[in-house]
Structure formats: C-alpha cells, structure tokens
Amino acid sequence: MNWTLTMNNPCASTTLTSQSIPAVTVKIGSTATTTFSEVADSAGTTYSLPNLCGIRNYSVLNGSTAQSWITFSSSSGTVTLTATPPTADDSLYNASAYSMTLRV
C-alpha cells in the first residue's frame, strides 16, 4: 500500500492583523496603562486557534531601541501596556510626543 502525506505550515505565510493602540500620556514618577486586543494572524483566525503560530511577545521601540520601561501582559485576548518611565532619564522628557513602534 502506497500513500502520500503532504504537510503544510499555515504559519509560513500568515499575516498579522492591523492593530490600533490608544495614545498614552504618562507623567514623571507615574504609571499609565492602556489596553488593546491581542494581535491576531490569518492562520489562527482561519483555523480558530489563536495561538497556532505562537504566543505573541510585545516590545516598544523608539527608533531601534527597545523601551524597558514599557511592559505588556495579556489575558483572555486583551493586552495591557504599562508605561513607567524612569525618573532619572531626562532625555525622555520634552514637550513633544514620541512616535514609537510596537514590535510583535
């Protein structure tokens, strides 16, 4: 008896869904949080398996530098971003807003 088994990896060509994250304002010495929906991917959505292509890990980049003072936690499809800027780093504070990149 001969048979053929073809294995496909749906994660090899999956795409991430676009995500909108609310703006965060945090004052020196304070902590601010915001929440957003877990970033999904097309394979997980197609097969109704949200973690099919792996658990999401998040970080925030300012340019190419990861910001260790911004952390993430997730539960039941909701991600919480917590920003607690260091009080000793004056380079973070100015009158303009930062445009940062979410890395998944």
Say what the pTM is: 0.76
> Cβ neighbours of residue 2 under 8 Å, at least 6 residues apart?
none
* Confidence class for position 88, pLDDT limits 50, 70, 90: low
The radius of gyration of the chain's CA atoms, rounded to the nearest angstrom, is 19
Average pLDDT for 48-72: 88
What pLDDT is recorded for position 28?
A: 79
pLDDT value of position 43: 93
Q: d(Cα 86, Cα 81) in Å, to the nearest integer?
A: 16
In the predicted model, is pLDDT for residue 53 greater than 80? yes
Report the run of H or E that residue 61 belongs to, with start and end. strand 59-62
Q: What is the pLDDT of residue 6?
A: 86
**Residue 90: which pLDDT band, with cuts at 50, 70 and 90?**
low
Residue with more model confidence, 37 or 99: 37
* C-alpha–C-alpha distance, residues 43 and 3, integer Å: 27
